[in-house]
Structures are given as C-alpha cells and as structure tokens.
Structure 1
C-alpha cells in the first residue's frame, strides 16, 4: 500500500481557473462544472492559489447588493494552498488529510499544476488496494 502513489489516482485534467478571471466568472464556472472549488493558475499553469464557493460568497452578495463590478479572483482566493506531488504515497496523504480540512489537494510538479486529488479518490485507492484486515470486524 505504501508504494501506491498519488499519480495513480489523481485527476490528470483538473478543473482550474485563471488568475485573471473575475469572481463572477469563477462562480459561473464552479456551478457549470458542479465543483465546490478549483486551483487558481497563471498563464503557464503555475499554481498561485485555490478558490472555493465559500471564498466567493461574500463578494457575490456584495456585487448583487451594490451592483458593483466583479473583482479579480485574486481578491478572494486562498494564497496558502496545501499541495502534494505525484510521487507522494497515498497512505502518507491519507494520514495528512485525516487531520486537515482541505478536501482537495492540487498536485504540483516543478511549481506547475499537474493534477488534483480528492478525499474520495484517496478512499477509493485505499479500498481498491487494502488488505482484508483493514475491513474485518
């Protein structure tokens, strides 16, 4: 199980938004794709943040109430993003995820977004590769 890597279970084509996008565009994208958040990248796919529906909520309310123009996603995104690499062990990441709040970890290699791994993908990897002793009782 320790030899199973993030690269084997990550989404290799993750939904990402560009740092130049407006909050309104990001919300429309999240709703269209039916996802709760996405990595924020620059034009070279370098990861610069993560944005969630929750991050956008106050700005969308403000825009609706005051009829303001929607600002750039960089004003609401999370700059400090927990990431992992393709070579990380699934078990190592599962242990980290068990004690932390992020539901998704951008997978980064040389500063560039190469994938995304979620709690559900981690659980799937463990179930597919787990020894029966994990589930006996």
Structure 2
C-alpha cells in the first residue's frame, strides 16, 4: 500500500500553526482538532518545523509554565523527516518505529499535501491483514 492511499482515505487536511504562535495557542489547536502534532508553517505549504504534544510536555518539564507563552518556534523540531505519497507504507512503518516518529508530513513537489500518523499506518496494516484473511477464507471455502 502507498502513502497516497492512506491520504485518499483520511483526507489531505493538514493542521498547521505559525512559528510565532504561542504554545498556549498550539495547545488550543491540538485540543480543538483532537490531534497530537501540527506542522509549523507560515504559509501552509512549506514546512518550517513540526511540534507535538510530546514536545510541549518535555519543555514544560524543563522550563515550567513559562513555556506556554513562548513561541512555537522555540520548541518545534526543525529537522523534519517527510515522506512522499508514492512511497510504501511498510517502509514508513519501519522508519516510524525505529526513529520513534508518531507523525510524518507528506510532501509532493516541495509542497505539504498531508500528514500521516502512526495510527494511520497501523490502521492500514490491519485493513491489509483483514483483506488477506478474507481472501484466504474465501479460497478455502471454494
């Protein structure tokens, strides 16, 4: 299965936040959308960073509540790994597992076109297994 197949199923809507937004604003966006990470982007197309709940928790632990009024750019990850829609989900699954990424932006022709979470990847694996199981059961009952 390809990454683009996952995006077709879930949609290509990507929540972004500006680098100058406060961490408090970021938390509001995460809670409103019930998501765990957002891409940091000034224009919604280019990626300047990524920031997750995990980043917020770690910085809260290190700096205390003062971090809530700081800019997202102060806590975001700037070296963002991306994946293309034509890449294989199995490869992404291995990368996400070994590198401990939970969210991977999808980029095509230099533009942000989606985001895939580890949950999306696991769901696709389960769907593939269910399809394979149904095929095997059908084959055995013929």
TM over 0.5: yes
Secondary structure at the counterpart of residue 14 of structure 2: coil
Residues 63, 74 of structure 1: CA spacing in aligned structure 2 closer, same or farther, 3 A cutoff? closer
Residues 99, 74 of structure 1: CA spacing in aligned structure 2 closer, same or farther, 3 A cutoff? same
Distance 1:27 1:119 in 2: 20
* TM-score calculated relative to the size of structure 2: 0.76
Secondary structure at the counterpart of residue 31 of structure 2: helix
| Structure 2 unaligned spans of 5+ | 134-142
Q: Which structure has the higher relative contact order (CA within 8 Å, separation 6+)?
A: 1
* TM-score calculated relative to the size of structure 1: 0.78
- In structure 2, the residue matched to 1:38 is 38
Number of aligned pairs?
A: 124
Extract structure 1 runs of 4+ deviating beyond 4 A: none
Question: CA contact under 8 A between 1:82 and 1:102: conserved in structure 2?
Answer: no
1:47-81 Cα offsets, whole Å, 9 max, x none, are 110111232342661257xxxxx232111111011
- In structure 2, the residue matched to 1:101 is 100
Distance 1:54 1:61 in 2: 15
- In structure 2, the residue matched to 1:135 is none
| Structure with a larger share of its residues in helix | 2
Residues 98, 63 of structure 1: CA spacing in aligned structure 2 closer, same or farther, 3 A cutoff? closer
CA-atom RMSD in angstroms: 2.0
Residues 111, 78 of structure 1: CA spacing in aligned structure 2 closer, same or farther, 3 A cutoff? same
- In structure 2, the residue matched to 1:111 is 110
